[in-house]
Amino acid sequence: MAVGAILCGLIVTACSSSPETAQSTDYLSDEWALALKTATSDFERRALEDGVVSRAEYDEAHQLWLECMQQEFPPGGPVQVSIRVREQDGLYEYVLSSTSTEDQERFDLWKDSCSIGTTIHVAFLYNSETSNPEGLPFAALVFQCLDESGLVPEGYTVDEFMQDFEAYANGSDRDVPFPNDGRHVLDCAATV
């Protein structure tokens, strides 16, 4: 928090709200501090120094990651790696043109290695802060969605929902005061 607060204090204009950027928030303050301390590339240091990860920096991180991955999975080769922007949330997904266990294990090894200096901090901070700026637990995000759709009764609290949701997710058949046919909850789960 301290790092983010200091940076926001120094760069007030950069910390104004914008859906196109991610900025320091309390729940990720340790992650921001760690990122600033352990950045290993000029790109990372530049992307993080103002306390904001812009969309352009998020894009650049993935391009650098892809260039690294293509050393092991060259374009035109038998197994290829690509990145795609998802319609649902505008975030990148990684795609491996194979479903073999051997290729997945090789991908995992390189994926994590190539993320150092590129996406490891920048993408995580952008992902988390643009999709969940308050750092809410997953169940609380689902509750917000159901509530906005008018699917939870008045007076039903997020804490009560989180307990019911955990039971629901664990297969319990106890009565819950929200639509329990699975569809609404899953629809919300897919959108948060």
Partner 1 sequence: MNTTKIFAGLATVALSASLAVVAAVPASAATASCKATNATSSLSHTVSENPSDTCYRVQARAQRYYPSGANETVYGPEHASHSTVYASPGVSIGSWAGRARPVAAPGPWALYQSFTTSSTTKTFTVNF
Query: Could you list the residues that contact partner 1 (CB under 8 A)?
Result: 27-28, 30-31, 34, 38, 86, 88, 91-99, 103-104, 107-108, 111-112, 123-124, 127-128, 131-132, 135-139, 141, 166, 169-171, 182-183, 185-187, 189-190, 192
3-state secondary structure of 22: strand
Name the minimum Å distance from CB 34 to partner 1: 5
Among residues 68, 173, 191, the alpha carbon closest in space to that of 120 is found at 68
If the CB atoms of residues 38 and 63 are measured against partner 1, the closer one turns out to be: 38
Beta bridge partners, 53, equal 22
If the CB atoms of residues 16 and 163 are measured against partner 1, the closer one turns out to be: 163
In the block, residue with structure tokens 């959108």: 191
If the CB atoms of residues 102 and 154 are measured against partner 1, the closer one turns out to be: 102
Name the minimum Å distance from CB 180 to partner 1: 13
Among residues 57, 43, 46, the alpha carbon closest in space to that of 125 is found at 57
If the CB atoms of residues 147 and 187 are measured against partner 1, the closer one turns out to be: 187
Q: How far apart are alpha carbons 18 and 34 in whole angstroms?
A: 23
**Residue 39 burial class via C-beta count within 10 angstroms: exposed 0-12, middle 13-18, buried 19 and up:** buried
Name the minimum Å distance from CB 151 to partner 1: 16
